Amino acid sequence: MEIERLLAPNPGLFTGPGTNTYVVRSDAAALIVDPGPVDSSHSKAILEAVAANSVLGILVTHSHPDHAPLANPLGRDLGVPVYGYEPGPQFDPDVRVSDDDQISVGADQLTVLYTPGHSGDHLCFLAGDVLFTGDHIMGGSTVVVEDMVAYLGSLRRLGEISLRRLYPGHGPIMDDPYAVIDEYISHRLEREEQIIAALAAGAGTVGAVVEEVYADVDPALHPLAAHSVAAHLNKLVAEERASFDSPADELWGALVRLIGAPS
């Protein structure tokens, strides 16, 4: 099996150097992982990369706009099916896959791992002992989390699999999978401690918690960080350690309180 990385031209605050698209080849066959946003130069680069291959399908880790929108148009161009967990904005998989499904490429097999947390529709793809991680794990950065309990469960699960290398959706390829997974888990537990400390010190809204806990992070990222804080708070609510009304429309001002703390 041979893996080639093609960088989409969408660098930015939320995407790092851009989205990593991967071509996975085995014999003359190929699969494409995460084609990325709709972009004619990137589409052309992918088509050139697979020109000598028999492409069998396009795999999408999740439906976020920096990963999925090129999948359906490219699938139509190549006449191949698109694989994903479920439909999303600008994304409609031809084949819906879930945990433990197998996708063949040449003599090799990719195993689908359902890894919710960053999003509810997130998949990783395991090829032998290398893993395509999408946004579950990024190179050189932490990720925004939608569901913290699910996310930590999905991280811990990866720790039990034999892994040699991670191919993330953004940033560099990583050759120290377990160190990265451990670091991700301890980062989250540390953030949880910081959030509890901020609440104990009197932060009464999600926004106040973000400003306290993410003081070291670019303020342009604070609205996104609010989603990770909300994910932590929902976990603390489930554990009956905090109260939090989480209105969908006004997250920043949502009221939060440690249970047992004076209101």
**Chain residues in the site for Zn ion (CB under 5 A):** 64, 135
Least CB distance to Zn ion at residue 118 (A): 6
CB-based contact 36:42 (threshold 8 Å) = yes
Least distance from Zn ion to the Cβ atom of residue 107, Å? 31
Q: Which is nearer to Zn ion, 106 or 134 (CB)?
A: 134
Q: How far is CA 115 from CA 61, 125, 126, 211, 243, in A?
A: 9, 10, 12, 29, 27
Q: Give the CA distances from residue 222 to residues 77, 108, 198, in Å, rounded to whole numbers and listed in that order.
A: 39, 42, 16
Nearer to Zn ion among residue 144 and residue 199 (C-beta): 144
Which among 88, 86, 85 is positioned nearest to 113, based on CA atoms? 85
CB of 123 or CB of 210, closer to Zn ion:
123
Question: What distance in Å separates the CA atoms of residue 198 and residue 195, rounded to the nearest whole number?
Answer: 5
Cβ 64 to Zn ion shortest distance, Å: 3
Closest contact distance (angstroms) between CB of 170 and Zn ion is 9
Give the shortest CB-54-to-Zn ion separation in angstroms: 29
User: Could you tell me where the DSSP H helices lie in the chain?
Assistant: 40-49, 71-78, 148-158, 177-200, 206-213, 222-238
Radius of gyration over alpha carbons of the chain, in Å? 19
Write the burial class of residue 51 (CB in 10 Å: 0-12 exposed, 13-18 middle, 19+ buried). Answer: exposed
Sheet holding 102-105, edge to edge: 102-105, 108-114, 123-127, 130-134, 165-168
Pick between residue 135 and residue 192 the one whose CB is nearest to Zn ion: 135
Looking at the Cβ atoms of 25 and 64, the one nearer to Zn ion is: 64
14, 18, 25, 1: which is closest to 172 by C-alpha? 18
CB nearer to Zn ion: give 135 or 147: 135
Comparing CB distances to Zn ion, the nearer of 39 and 199 is 39
Smallest distance from Zn ion to CB 230, Å: 16
The C-alpha atoms of residue 118 and residue 203 are separated, in whole angstroms, by 25
In the complex, the smallest distance separating the C-beta of residue 253 from Zn ion, rounded to whole angstroms, is 25
